[in-house]
Chain A
Amino acid sequence: MANEKILVIDDERLIVELMEDILKKEGYIVKGFTDGEDALKCVLEEKFDLVLVDLKMPKIDGIEVLKKIKEVSPQTEVIIVTAYATIDTAVESIKLGAYDYITKPFDIDNLLQKLKRCLEKKSLVEEVDTLKDVISIYKVTRALSSCIGLKELFDLMLKLLCEVLNADSSSILLLDENTKTLKIEAYYNLKLQDAEKIRIKVGERIAGWVAQNGNTLLLIDGIDKDPRFRHLEPRPEIKCAMVAPLKIEDKIIGVLTLNSLRDTRHFTEREQKLFTIFADNAALAVRDARAYNKLKELDGLKSEFISNVSHELRTPLTAISGSIDLILNTFSDEISDGVKRLLNITKNNSDRLVKLVNEILDFSKIEAGVLIISKGEIDISFLVRQTIEELRTLADEKKLSLNSEVPNEPIYVMADSNRIKQVIVNLIGNSLKFTKEGGITVGVRLLEKEVVVFVKDTGIGIPEESKNKIFERFYRVDCSLKKETSGFGIGLSLCKSIVEAHNGKIWFESKLGEGSTFYFSLPIEKSKK
């Protein structure tokens, strides 16, 4: 039997003693009173799970006691004991919140059973309440994690906190590690002058105490009552308060405060527990938001950096390729065939460098979310056929066949022709890269609502363990040390971004050693003419 606390009130001392005896034997913690008023004083100081109260008593009767108890401690269950049970008094007491009533003289087994059932119901109700609280905290945490900016996060956090715990005002202070001071970051419903200038040293005042000791404080009857903080926080308007540390892995990063301006006993131990859980979640949200901000900042820097790098790389490349271009096209009669051949090698490799630089730039644009797709009506059949022809020499060089299964009739889609061509070139390029013998087949199929383009090869295929990573940026099937092919590992990730920017899909089928087929689809937007 759990040690629930029961209060027995009866003006007959004998009955009180008898009940105390019986209940103690059952394992309950029991207190008995013969005077209703004394009993009520006790209820103000201690929490009881259940009160057994006699209906007819001098000074104050059972109904009055019931009313008072429900006022100060609504969670405490009350059972009325009466020798003069009438339907009226029974109904009245139950209306006022009593769990049940028992008639005197009572049967002990009957009494114990009623007690047991009542306490069981009470613990069930508490469980449900806890679940409800957990759900509300979960909701709050969800809301917090969807928050992006720190300031926005704090404001929302404080508002939700007041709502969930039915409080009036709240604030959040963050710890500056260097100066060991707390600074107010945000507050809700508080009238603070020069809030941003307020600094509280660790160890000073209430917030400083919590930052030093790391425990949640529950301050009832006004914040000045606790001897530790007497005269430290002269704010009589705060009737009841809770202060919790914001901790990440035992490291305190700040303090969260919550106040009630209405009621000296507004918060109980239950709220204190919930508040602590809330503070733990809030600390994690603060950490995430800080990390996110840092990441975003780095991301911006990275995009800018890549953009600059590509510019810096392109400038000398322009001079190189421009010079070669001029020599080969304008001064070609001034140079020998041998030199011409060497210059052609230089040209091919500078073209290759340009392609790589462009790839990085495109990638950084996608990363920064500034890849612009300018759609127009294009004939995808024509585009695929054209691309196949442009790449035919590359296939010939590797002695691979390049077959077309593209229908002769035009298929119109709304798309960015350059970008879609980039995808086709990339896919065929990959097939050429990974196929040693056999060939590549490129085709277009018109379905009801979309058009599917495929590139099928007889290459090495994709190993099982790589299949779910293949569209990830920087991923390369071969590890860089035993590198057999060139590239940055961003081609497919780029293709995916481009296709998805067209509301299409990209996927593949592959068997190791037999080959791969890559597909991408583009929706056909029916013109509403």
Chain B
Amino acid sequence: MAKILIAEDEKDIVFIIETALKKAGFETIIAYDGEETLKKAINEKPDLILLDIMMPKMDGFTVNTKLKENNETKDIPVIVCTARGGLKDLFSIEEKWKVDGYLEKPFVVKVLIDKIREVLGEKK
């Protein structure tokens, strides 16, 4: 069972994603801010990180950069999931921010699940 780290500060959204992922058969871990995300990425070794951009303590850009800098976490696939629109190009153009997927909020649950499956399939 693949383990997904949900990095998201909005509790309602966390609940929705968590419910959807569990229903789809994934195991979930949750981080409510940027620092927690980094810590859990290192300690819990998730198979994929669902990363919000605007989070307390550390924003998603920085989290992603730090994940990529660390040998222990650099290979964990990241899907950015943000309400701050129009960042798609930034994440595909900027070398240091390169991510495996990008979803704009609000997202369709099915699309999110499909994206996760697609990225995990590619990585395995």
Partner-B contacts on A (CB < 8 A): 307, 310-311, 314-315, 317-323, 325-326, 329-330, 350, 354, 358, 361-362, 365, 370, 372, 374
CA distance A350 to B17 in the complex (A): 18
CA distance A307 to B110 in the complex (A): 27
Residues of A within 8 A of B19 (CB): 326, 330
Residues of B within 8 A of A350 (CB): 106
Find out whether the CB atom of A314 lies under 8 angstroms from the CB atom of B106.
Answer: yes
- Known A315-B10, A319-B10, A330-B23: A372·B89 in contact at CB below 8 Å: yes
Find out whether the CB atom of B83 lies under 8 angstroms from the CB atom of A318.
Answer: yes
Find out whether the CB atom of B10 lies under 8 angstroms from the CB atom of A311.
Answer: no
Find out whether the CB atom of A322 lies under 8 angstroms from the CB atom of B86.
Answer: no
Say yes or no: is B2 at the interface (Cβ < 8 Å to chain A): no
Which 3 A-B pairs rank lowest in CB-CB distance, beginning with the nearest? A314-B83, A322-B16, A318-B106
Find out whether the CB atom of B12 lies under 8 angstroms from the CB atom of A311.
Answer: no
CA distance A474 to B99 in the complex (A): 36
Residues of B within 8 A of A319 (CB): 10, 12-13, 16
A315 to chain B minimum Cβ distance, whole angstroms, is 5
Apart from A310-B83, A372-B86, A374-B89, list 4 A-B contacts with CB within 8 A.
A315-B10, A318-B105, A319-B10, A326-B109
5 A–B contacts, CB within 8 A, in A order: A318-B105, A321-B108, A326-B19, A330-B23, A350-B106
Find out whether the CB atom of B107 lies under 8 angstroms from the CB atom of A322.
Answer: yes
- Known A319-B10, A325-B108: A311·B89 in contact at CB below 8 Å: no
Taking each of B23, B54, B86, B89, which has the highest tally of chain A beta carbons within 10 Å of its own beta carbon? Answer: B86
- Known A323-B16, A326-B19, A326-B20: A315·B109 in contact at CB below 8 Å: no
B8 to chain A minimum Cβ distance, whole angstroms, is 10
CA distance A55 to B98 in the complex (A): 93
A408 to chain B minimum Cβ distance, whole angstroms, is 31
CA distance A317 to B13 in the complex (A): 10
Chain B residue at minimal CB-CB distance from A370? B86
Residues of B within 8 A of A361 (CB): 85-86
Find out whether the CB atom of B85 lies under 8 angstroms from the CB atom of A310.
Answer: yes
Residues of B within 8 A of A317 (CB): 105-106
Residues of B within 8 A of A372 (CB): 86, 89
CA distance A325 to B86 in the complex (A): 23
Residues of A within 8 A of B117 (CB): none
